[in-house]
Amino acid sequence: MSSLRFKFDTTATLLHFVTVILAITNGSFVRSFPGACLTLMELVAFVFHILYLTCYRGTPSVPRKIKWVEYGISATLGTIAVLHTNTRIRYDWIFLFLLIGTGQQLLGLLVDAKYELGFDTLWPAFIAGCCIQLGEYIFVAYAGDNYMNSVYWTYVAFYGLFGVHAFVGFWRKGSTDYMEEIYSFYGFVAKLAVFYAEYFYFAGVSSIAIGSFATGMYLLTILFTIMIVLANHNTSCVTPTSKDPHFFIRLYLTDQTRVYDEGRCQQLTP
């Protein structure tokens, strides 16, 4: 498991913990159905990230395998929360999205397990996952009367990052470590974005302000993604030094398991 994934999971653990504390100290929010779903989403994410960090010492491959369980629970809770932003509780909808969430993550597990086969082999599973996600977007928008809601568009924008990243990864034939690192980053950013959009909505913050917050967070996410790619592009033989003006940024964003691969550097040296 890459050192960059470890850094992201450490960051996510701290942020999810802070968010859970914030949620449970706001009684009116956590007593609402969407608030309860999102608080549970953050709690699930926090517990799983503790498990990820614990596994790195003994069985580092475990986080990659069980992340789909976490996504199946936490991402589904986030979707259910957004769906019920402006509507009463519908248990048939909850059951439906539990099935949808399970199906999506099973497709993700299939693609992840067979990633090395390439897009030519796995495109049916990828297309099926995209169609399910698109159907989910439409249902949440119209069944929940959310299509003019900034919380909904925050959910669409951030949940959509995963599909875009998967497609780009297939197209570029990126390494599994690279895919894991970006997925880990998007995983906690998307949950936090949806949580805080809903949190501000229930606090009475205007839709324009929530939209501005989400847009700023989205742009920062894209910028951060670019920085991750640049920090790890052709850096296998580059060791960050304190003389580098961006040393601390590079140190955080660079996967040291690739940077300090001296054997590979010797092979690359003409």
| pLDDT tens digit at each of 270 positions of the chain | 556 778 888 999 999 999 999 999 999 999 999 999 999 999 999 999 998 888 765 555 666 678 888 988 999 999 999 999 888 888 888 898 888 888 888 887 777 666 655 556 677 777 888 888 999 999 998 887 777 789 999 999 999 998 888 777 766 665 566 677 788 899 999 999 999 999 999 999 998 999 999 999 999 999 988 887 776 655 444 444 444 444 445 554 554 444 444 444 443 333
- Is residue 135 in some structural domain? yes
Has residue 84 been placed in a domain? yes
The CATH code of the domain that includes 61 is 1.20.1070.10
- H helical segments located in 84-206: 91-113, 119-143, 150-172, 176-202
Report how many domains make up the chain: 1
CA 152 → CA 19, 91, 99, 201, distances in Å? Answer: 20, 20, 21, 11
CB 151 within 8 Å of CB 197: yes
pTM: 0.82
Does any domain span residue 253?
no
For residue 84, give the amino acid letter.
H
Q: Which amino acid is at 118?
A: G
Residue 226 within any structural domain of the chain = no
Residue 174 belongs to what domain range? 3-207
